[in-house]
Structure 1
Amino acid sequence: MNVTLPDRSAEDIGNIVHLEHVNLTVPDQLLATRFYITALGLTRDPYLNTGVENMWANIGRTQFHLPHGPAQLFRGAVRLVMPGRDELITRLRQVEQALRGTEFSFDDSNAGRVEVCSPWGNRLEFYEPDPARFGATQLGIVELVFDVAVGSTPGIARFYREVFGAPAQSSAGQARVQVGVGQWLIFCETGDALPAYDGHHIQIYVADFSGPHRRLHALGLVTEESNQHQYRFMDIVDPHGGAPCFQVEHEVRSMTHPMFARPLVNRDPRQRTGQYLPGADAFVPHRPD
């Protein structure tokens, strides 16, 4: 009897197993709280960095890290999955007055997403959960979209394939790199002038920790030997010839890092004191229909 087996390769995610956080310095922690916590509905991590110099904002299994400093600009857009489009729009409207005079704005004219600009000009796009596009993710950072120079995307795809062992393809001026379950780095070519890189970073976990380190070291790209469980690099280059393609610092961690798969607290921002529902403080994913 012939048995048709599932396509097992559809379950492969490559060596990069999780994109955990995006780090952007902010000059005002109060404004950051109003935007990321009150307006967006994210959850301030209650255990780490609870002072006034840094804030970790949880969204699902991912985070924004927001230390105090000159405003940093993400050159592209951060795409997030969050249920409750109408509630998000209500929260955004409620903070408009408090964020007046900053770069904050939002656009809900597209039925498929809500586009938000932070007080410092960073672009965020919010999507409802979609199993066909985002898998089982119902809350979290799912895609980082970078604006890059024309002609750079084939080399970017080769870099992630050959240095990191990550599934990566390029076509029609775009490179897509899988960096976790339902998570992608997307590099889009543009003819527009790109802002200078200002030091913001992203953080990834990898299964094969030493292999990429060895290949990065051979290319002269390792910028920090942080500790036993972590290193950093900044330059993405074409491994075929070494031509520079893009800059964004990567904080690379092993799966033996003490913080790998650390449980993150997530509240349900729809909970209200005036309409309190016992047992509904925490965000609880819903089963897809």
Structure 2
Amino acid sequence: MAAETFDRKAEDVGNIVLLEHVNFRVPDQQLATAFYVTALGFTRDPYLMVGLDNMWINLGRSQFHLPTGAPNHSRGRVGCVVSDFDTLPDRLQAADKWLGGTRYTHKVEKNHADVTCPWGNRIRLHRAGSDFGFMTLGMPYVEFPVPTGHADGIARFYREVMAAPARLEQDNGSAVARVQVGPGQSLRFRETSDDIRPYDGYHIAVYVTDFGGSHAKLNERGIVSQESNPYQYRFQEIVDPDSGKLLYEIEHEVRSFTHPMYARPLVNRNPAQRQPTYQPGQDAFYPRY
């Protein structure tokens, strides 16, 4: 009997092992709470950033970081998986009373909902089990629009500089560079002929295993933008690894696998829990990734 064969690269993770957070500045923490906690059903971190000038929002093992300031405007969208998709429409509609007069919108389809935050950032909420394997709550992807012809170079940048599995694929008629940034997580760079909003400084945070090797390759190209501390540095420019041509800008907060906060356990609540229908022992939600 012939031995069964497997694609042994299918389960590779690569150098980037976790997409931890997306950071957007927000001008109003109360509106941010109404959107991310009340409407979306996510959880404010109870341990860190508990003041009035910043808020960390937990979803699975990823977060949104929301410092107070002039609002950032994402050029793409953030994809999230939620466990309670069937109760989501009522929650989104109930939040209208707090978020009316802002740019807040919501539209629910069979297996996903498109929502816009009070300042115009787009989030797509997916039904758990529809497209993202075992994930029941989390951030499976962040998507960015990029100029036509740039996706291939972006994929090569992540493969050659960041040692992350990356491939070029066709999706709905567009070329997309898909970069693996952790189990079940990816960055998607989708080509478009539309005008792209100027970059205004929002960032993503990732953890890597080859911390020094990635730094050396970035430093060779002169694109390390901040030497933060022994466990972290930043870069903003994605360049063609051969020519050095600037392809895209999005700041990456790069953290080492030995960073004290790597895989920090995050508190996630059960958004279905209500006082009138309270179920003992059901306050917390323990997601699968």
How would you bin the TM-score normalised by the shorter chain? over 0.9
Tell me by how many angstroms 1:5 deviates.
4.8
Q: Tell me the equivalent position of 1:241.
A: 243
What CA distance in whole angstroms lies between the structure 2 residues aligned with 1:286 and 1:218?
A: 39
Residue 72 (structure 2) pairs with residue 107 (structure 1): no
Q: Tell me the equivalent position of 1:219.
A: 221
Equivalences, count: 285
Q: Tell me the equivalent position of 1:182.
A: 184
Residue 136 (structure 2) pairs with residue 134 (structure 1): no
Of residues 277, 281, 284, the one that matches 1:282 is 284
Q: Tell me the equivalent position of 2:195.
A: 193
What CA distance in whole angstroms lies between the structure 2 residues aligned with 1:77 and 1:59?
A: 16
Tell me by how many angstroms 1:286 deviates.
7.5
Alignment CA distance shift 1:22-1:162 (3 Å): same
* 1:233-272 alignment runs, 5 A limit: 233-272=235-274
Letter in 2 for 1:226: S
For residues 25-55 of structure 1, give each alpha carbon's deviation from its aligned partner in whole angstroms, at most 9, with x where no partner exists.
0000000000001111110000000000000
- For structure 1, the 5+ residue unaligned runs are none
Q: Tell me the equivalent position of 2:85.
A: 85
Letter in 1 for 2:121: N
Letter in 2 for 1:121: G
Q: Tell me the equivalent position of 1:203.
A: 205
Tell me by how many angstroms 1:117 deviates.
0.5
For residues 235-279 of structure 1, give each alpha carbon's deviation from its aligned partner in whole angstroms, at most 9, with x where no partner exists.
000111011111000000011000001000000010011111000
What CA distance in whole angstroms lies between the structure 2 residues aligned with 1:52 and 1:88?
A: 27
How big is the alpha-carbon RMSD for the aligned residues of Structure 1 and Structure 2? 1.4
What CA distance in whole angstroms lies between the structure 1 residues aligned with 2:138 and 2:145?
A: 21
Letter in 1 for 2:148: V
Q: Tell me the equivalent position of 1:61.
A: 61
SS at match of 1:156: helix
* 1:1-150 alignment runs, 5 A limit: 2-108=2-108, 110-130=109-129, 133-150=131-148
Tell me by how many angstroms 1:2 deviates.
4.4
What CA distance in whole angstroms lies between the structure 2 residues aligned with 1:143 and 1:29?
A: 25
For residues 32-83 of structure 1, give each alpha carbon's deviation from its aligned partner in whole angstroms, at most 9, with x where no partner exists.
0000011111100000000000000000000000000001011101000102
What CA distance in whole angstroms lies between the structure 1 residues aligned with 2:167 and 2:262?
A: 27
For residues 88-139 of structure 1, give each alpha carbon's deviation from its aligned partner in whole angstroms, at most 9, with x where no partner exists.
111110011211110000011x2121000000000100111227x3222110
What CA distance in whole angstroms lies between the structure 1 residues aligned with 2:101 and 2:197?
A: 22
For residues 200-232 of structure 1, give each alpha carbon's deviation from its aligned partner in whole angstroms, at most 9, with x where no partner exists.
000000111111100000000001011111000
What CA distance in whole angstroms lies between the structure 1 residues aligned with 2:34 and 2:107?
A: 18
Tell me by how many angstroms 1:86 deviates.
2.2
What CA distance in whole angstroms lies between the structure 1 residues aligned with 2:288 and 2:203?
A: 32
- For structure 2, the 5+ residue unaligned runs are none
What CA distance in whole angstroms lies between the structure 2 residues aligned with 1:193 and 1:20?
A: 29
Alignment CA distance shift 1:286-1:223 (3 Å): closer
Alignment CA distance shift 1:244-1:119 (3 Å): same
Letter in 2 for 1:47: Y
**Contact (CA 8 Å) 2:45, 2:58: kept in 1 or not?**
yes
* TM-score normalised by the chain length of structure 1: 0.96
Q: Tell me the equivalent position of 1:168.
A: 166
What CA distance in whole angstroms lies between the structure 2 residues aligned with 1:261 and 1:286?
A: 14
Letter in 1 for 2:156: R
SS at match of 1:12: coil
